[in-house]
Amino acid sequence: MFDIMIKNANLATPQGNMPKSGKAQGEILIQNNVDIGILDGKIAKIAPRGELGTPAQEVINARGRLVTPGLVDSHTHLVFGGFRQNELQMKLAGAQYLEILAAGGGILSTVKATRAASFDELCDKAEGFLNDMIDHGTTTTEVKSGYGLDFETELKQLEVVRKLNIHHDMDLVATFMGAHAVPTKFAGNADGYVNLLINEIIPKMADEGLAEFCDIFCEDSVFNVEQSRRILQAAKKHGFKLKIHADEIVDLGGAKLAAELGATSAEHLIAASDEGLQALAQSDTIAILLPATSFYLGKPYARARDMVNLGIPVAIASDFNPGSSPSFNMQLALTLAYIGYRLHPCEALTAATLNGACAIGLGETKGTIEVGKDADIVVWDCPDLDYLFYRFGNNQVYTVIKNGGVTYEID
Ligand code: NIG
Ligand code: FE
């Protein structure tokens, strides 16, 4: 007896446990009229309609709707105090993202609000976001700290992630990002903060064991390449896997550094040079691209087509944060990836599922609908993949299946 059966699904899924690149990024399995049996939270059987051969306690009749793996949001800054609606008008009036940061706003204003917020406040707020994210089809989320810039607050953020990972249906992967900005206390002395990170904060954070990855904002007037290299080498020594916010606004050489250090992912890459892309193409690093951030900051779209053509595995994520992307809607990110990056819907689906899962170390269990994988599944109120990408702005989820249960149903 299955726990759940999804009946009459129009299945679209990438396949396998490894990141897909080049032509393979767009090769997904599309199979109409299938039934999917779920047992103990895992995908137990996939068969042509009517051929599962075993009954189920609960039957979801997809009636020919599109069924995909749950979306994997591989880059978010989910846990933060306050919001920054005041900055949008400044940006529209011409203020640049890095200028706002240099004036003590931007990330630094969220740092103030996050330090001031209690653990429970941060937890309740993030929990509300997670509820909405699942309702919008995201079933696994990476979360970066980085709004503390001191040990105590960074730890508070990561403890929120741990608590929510235990109590919430969403699966979470934590990233320590103490090098998200230079804290006000160290203004003009970035090296002083880098030394503190290397000598104290990173070793202590490694002992806490709350984060699998370490990320850094390698950017003009934030952390330069040499500082980034030192921090990431220290993090690697202490057992963290590496991520880099690389070449988001200025081409500093972050993509090259990611390749050099064997980082799991290089993220943003809007300004990455040909040389940076060539280095990534020769590495195992996954490019995590964030189309909603390009849209929201009025920046160019990253060169996703070139990346796919060069054989770099591309993932897509929301970059949900209170400044450069106050949206966690992965459906919007998919449509922007289609229109802004010119990724084909099949390539973009792989980017938002399997490649995203691989970029946070979960390719073995997440990102595809295959027997043995976790039953993280979305039934969309759409007839096919093209339709999912064509509509935008409304929530197209029909039902989400997560942890052996149905978390969202519209009728
Ligand atoms: O990925 N670029 C750095 N970090 C975030 C923005 C964080 C913020 O503005 O609060 C990003 O865009
Ligand atoms: Fe980010």
pLDDT per residue as tens, the chain (411 positions): 999 999 999 999 999 999 999 999 999 999 999 999 999 999 999 999 999 999 999 999 999 999 999 999 999 999 999 999 999 999 999 999 889 988 889 999 999 999 999 999 999 999 999 999 999 999 999 999 999 999 999 999 999 999 999 999 999 999 999 999 999 999 999 999 999 999 999 999 999 999 999 999 999 999 999 999 999 999 999 999 999 999 999 999 999 999 999 999 999 999 999 999 999 999 999 999 999 999 999 999 999 999 999 999 999 999 999 999 999 999 999 999 999 999 999 999 999 999 999 999 999 999 999 999 999 999 999 999 999 999 999 999 999 999 878 876 555
Distance separating alpha carbons of residues 30 and 156, to the nearest angstrom: 43
Residue 322 CA to ligand 2 center (angstroms) comes to 10
The pLDDT value given to residue 404 = 75
Distance separating alpha carbons of residues 350 and 375, to the nearest angstrom: 17
Residue 45 CA to ligand 2 center (angstroms) comes to 37
Count Cβ atoms within 10 A of the Cβ of residue 391 and give its class: 0-12 exposed, 13-18 middle, 19 or more buried.
middle
Distances in whole angstroms, Cα of residue 347 to Cα of each of 28, 288, 308, 389: 8, 13, 9, 12
Mutation choice for ligand 1 from 73, 74, 77, CB with most ligand atoms inside 8 A? 77
Which atom of ligand 1 lies closest to the CA of 181? Answer: 3
Identity at 88, one-letter amino acid code: L
The pLDDT value given to residue 19 = 98
Among the bound ligands, name the one nearest to the CA of residue 113.
1
Q: Which pTM does this prediction carry?
A: 0.98
Query: Between vectors from CA 265 to CA 262 and to CA 269, what angle results, nearest 5°?
Result: 115
Of 71, 70, 72, 82, which is closest to residue 321 (Cα–Cα)?
Answer: 82
Taking CA atoms only, the protein residue closest to ligand 1 atom 6 is: 324
Residue 9 CA to ligand 2 center (angstroms) comes to 35
Among the bound ligands, name the one nearest to the CA of residue 107.
1
SS3 call for 167: helix
Distance separating alpha carbons of residues 320 and 394, to the nearest angstrom: 18
Residues constituting the chain:
411
- Residues in contact with 129: Cβ distance below 8 Å, sequence separation at least 6, in sequence order: 78, 320, 328
The pLDDT value given to residue 409 = 59
The pLDDT value given to residue 180 = 98
Which atom of ligand 1 lies closest to the CA of 219? Answer: 2
Question: Beta 241-246 vs 213-218: how paired, if at all?
Answer: parallel
Report residue 233: phi and psi, to 5°: -65, -40
Mutation choice for ligand 1 from 90, 144, 245, CB with most ligand atoms inside 8 A? 245
Which helix (H) or strand (E) is 98 found in, with range? helix 97-102
Q: Which tokens in the block code for residue 322?
A: 């209170």
Residue 319 CA to ligand 2 center (angstroms) comes to 5
Which atom of ligand 1 lies closest to the CA of 248? Answer: 2
Taking CA atoms only, the protein residue closest to ligand 1 atom 3 is: 217
Give the residues surrounding ligand 1 with Cβ less than 6 Å away: 77, 106-107, 110, 217, 245, 248, 293, 319, 321-324
Question: Beta 66-69 vs 377-380: how paired, if at all?
Answer: antiparallel
SS3 call for 141: strand
Among the bound ligands, name the one nearest to the CA of residue 73.
2
Among the bound ligands, name the one nearest to the CA of residue 74.
2
- Residues in contact with 261: Cβ distance below 8 Å, sequence separation at least 6, in sequence order: 229, 232, 233, 236, 242
Mutation choice for ligand 1 from 177, 180, 218, CB with most ligand atoms inside 8 A? 180
Question: Beta 29-39 vs 42-48: how paired, if at all?
Answer: antiparallel
Rounded to a whole number of angstroms, the distance between the first and last alpha carbons of the chain is 25
Residue 377 CA to ligand 2 center (angstroms) comes to 26
Query: Between vectors from CA 207 to CA 158 and to CA 237, what angle results, nearest 5°?
Result: 105
